Amino acid sequence: MMVTGSRGGKGDGSGELAGLDGAGSVERVFRIPDISLEERTPLMVTLLEIIHLQREHIQRLKDEIARLKGQKPRPRIKPSKLEGGSLDEGEKEVAGQRPGSAKRSKTSALEIHQTVVIRPENLAEGSKFKGYQDYTVQDIVLRPHNTLFRLERWQTPEGDFVIGKLPEEVVGEHYGPVLRSYVLYQYYHAHVTQPLIWEQVWELGVDISVGQVNRIITEGKDRFHEEKEAILRVGLEISGHINVDDTGARHQGKNGYCTHIGNELFAWFKSTESKSRMNFLELLRAGRSEYAITTRALDYMSAQKLPKVQLERLAACGKSVFEDQATWKAALESLDFTDERHIRIATEGALLGSIVEQGHMNPGLVIVSDDAGQFDILLHALCWVGRTPGQPLQRAVNKLVGFNDAQIEALEAIRTRIWDFYADLKAYKKEPCEKERAELEGRFDELFSTRTCYESLNQALKRIRKNKSGLLLVLDRPDIPLHNNTSERDIREYVKKRKISGSTRSDPGRRCRDTFTSLKKTCRKLKVSFFEYLTDRVSGRNAIPPLAELIRGRARESPS
């Protein structure tokens, strides 16, 4: 029998220990009896402390194993505030009120749609009126509102017939703009499935079919698609950096990927069959189709080891811009490009040339990613603190587990130094100076050249040091973030929709999912109500300016 873990206990002489048999299964639980202070000898106190420390160490190892398996570790449950636990700072209760109830006046700015005056009952004769005591009740109205448009028909003296015109927002539609906006809002914002949306509006009294709900969700959305593409074009033009990431996106039963591009001003999503570098470069063209042979393109091809003969042929081909993919492929065939690797490198270079040299992108744009290879173009900054497996620090250090006290101490010491260095980088971003920059560079080299008693940790530090240029790009560009959390938060919206509604089955459905996820997240960043935006666009009022214009305006307000 061997003691290997615990179930409860606080290191005070009580608790439970699970005993395991040789096969690793739990036989029974040993309960450590309560030991009075008088009965505790110095040796017994020492043994209890060892048991307590061993219990915590075993739990840490279990949590680490669970995390590496993709499972959740044992939750850390805070003391209940209802049982006398202390409140955190900022959560102090106002006497007699629930937390948060005294933040602001919730009714002062409300639009009042109906006013009801109520007189007291059994009012005594001779009473004097002393004004009102207001009591505001917020509610919503969920009921059908059906309109019959009776278009007058007139016959002119010439014998022709003229008929009254329908309002623009209902031409070709038997469902009004508010209902259509509500369906879009429920599906793309609240993540309600199509069958439940149909059931909901049917129970409210709307006579609508399942097919009509699907049509409202996926058909006739060209206006929205165009606005989504304009978001990316403006975002790349005015941004100093973009955060990028991708996630799985199955389509028609086949694996695919959804790429996110965005920052604090916008979010843009696109689902494709590939997540290669060529695919990413095609997305950065923001709907344009040209390929360009420029100095930047040729430098890229050379860095990717394209043979010198092929480089010379491209440089001397006599044409620098190719209008579309068909023209580009024909040019490669005429230059005798047959090897797939050579075609790929040349195409990536021509895409990069068209993006940078044609003036469609900020030339100083920094791409912040989690070290995925397809994003390693232009100025590439790496994330320090993200949670995804692709992070250099996450992959190299955070997954390590010490197997003895010396390794555990070395690992904790390195982690502490890394977080201290990260805190100093944040301080540098606020007040950059040349002296601090040189000091941080030296500290980086020293930190990630450290030799410890833990060889796996040494190798991890060595791998991190190779990413120095990406991790320390912030020293040259203090305006860029140190992490990729913006992309991770934005892409979570797509993941939620995927988990609830599953994969897409039609091309219009996939395109609409990308478009409305982009528009919703961008509206949220710009402080625009997504429901008001949908209603505005569906009704054709267009009172809300194009989102691309709002992005430009926000960028001018905060140039950083």
pLDDT score recorded for residue 6: 44
Half-sphere exposure of 327 (CA within 13 A, CB side): 11
Short-list 546, 470, 534, CA closest to 266: 546
Q: What is the DSSP letter of 139?
A: -
* Structure-block tokens of residue 97: 């009120």
| More confident site: 267 or 46 | 267
* Structure-block tokens of residue 419: 């977080």
515: how many CB neighbours lie within 10 A of its CB?
23
Q: How far is it, in rounded angstroms, from Cα 467 to Cα 150?
A: 70
What is the average pLDDT score of the chain?
86
Q: How far is it, in rounded angstroms, from Cα 428 to Cα 446?
A: 18
* Structure-block tokens of residue 156: 């002119």
- Given pLDDT bands bounded at 50, 70 and 90, which one contains residue 132? very high
Least confident of 44-48, 253-257, 323-327, 538-542: 44-48
Phi, psi (5° rounding) for residue 321? -125, 130
Non-local CB neighbours of 208 within 8 Å, separated by 6+ positions: 175, 198, 201, 202
Least confident of 184-188, 210-214, 282-286, 556-560: 556-560
Short-list 188, 237, 222, CA closest to 548: 237
The arithmetic mean of pLDDT across residues 312-317, rounded, is: 90
Least confident of 26-40, 56-70, 501-515: 26-40
pLDDT score recorded for residue 62: 86
Percent of the chain with pLDDT over 70: 86
Answer whether residue 140 shows pLDDT above 70: yes
Using an 8 Å Cβ cutoff, are 29 and 16 in contact? yes
Q: What is the DSSP letter of 276?
A: S
Q: How far is it, in rounded angstroms, from Cα 538 to Cα 179?
A: 10
pLDDT digits (tens, 9 = 90+) for 331-358: 999 999 999 999 999 999 999 999 887 6
pLDDT score recorded for residue 79: 61
Determine the angle formed by the axes of helices 210-218 and 194-203, rounding to 10 degrees. Answer: 120
517: how many CB neighbours lie within 10 A of its CB?
25
E strand residue ranges, 307-445: 321-322, 366-369, 379-382
- Given pLDDT bands bounded at 50, 70 and 90, which one contains residue 15? low
Answer whether residue 51 shows pLDDT above 50: yes
Answer whether residue 376 shows pLDDT above 80: yes
Q: How far is it, in rounded angstroms, from Cα 414 to Cα 457?
A: 9
- Given pLDDT bands bounded at 50, 70 and 90, which one contains residue 128? very high
Non-local CB neighbours of 214 within 8 Å, separated by 6+ positions: 194
C-alpha pair distances (Å), 214 with each of 179, 217, 520, 534, 540: 13, 5, 19, 17, 21
Answer whether residue 375 shows pLDDT above 80: yes
| More confident site: 240 or 43 | 240
At residue 470, the 3 state secondary structure works out as helix
Q: How far is it, in rounded angstroms, from Cα 369 to Cα 262?
A: 11
- Given pLDDT bands bounded at 50, 70 and 90, which one contains residue 47? confident
Non-local CB neighbours of 542 within 8 Å, separated by 6+ positions: 536
| More confident site: 202 or 33 | 202
**How remote is the C-alpha of 136 from its chain's centroid?**
38
Answer whether residue 95 shows pLDDT above 60: no
pLDDT score recorded for residue 281: 94
Answer whether residue 29 shows pLDDT above 80: no
What sign for the dihedral angle of Cα 370, 371, 373, 375? positive
pLDDT score recorded for residue 287: 85
pLDDT digits (tens, 9 = 90+) for 418-451: 989 999 999 999 999 999 999 999 999 999 999 9
**To which H or E segment does residue 103 belong?**
none
435: how many CB neighbours lie within 10 A of its CB?
7
Please, where are the H alpha helices in 269-401? Answer: 277-284, 295-303, 308-315, 325-334, 340-357, 392-393
- Long-range contacts for 315-321 (Cβ within 8 Å, ≥24 apart)? 317/293, 319/293, 320/292, 320/293, 320/294, 321/290, 321/291, 321/292, 321/293, 321/354
pLDDT digits (tens, 9 = 90+) for 460-471: 899 889 989 999
Least confident of 69-83, 260-274, 360-374: 69-83
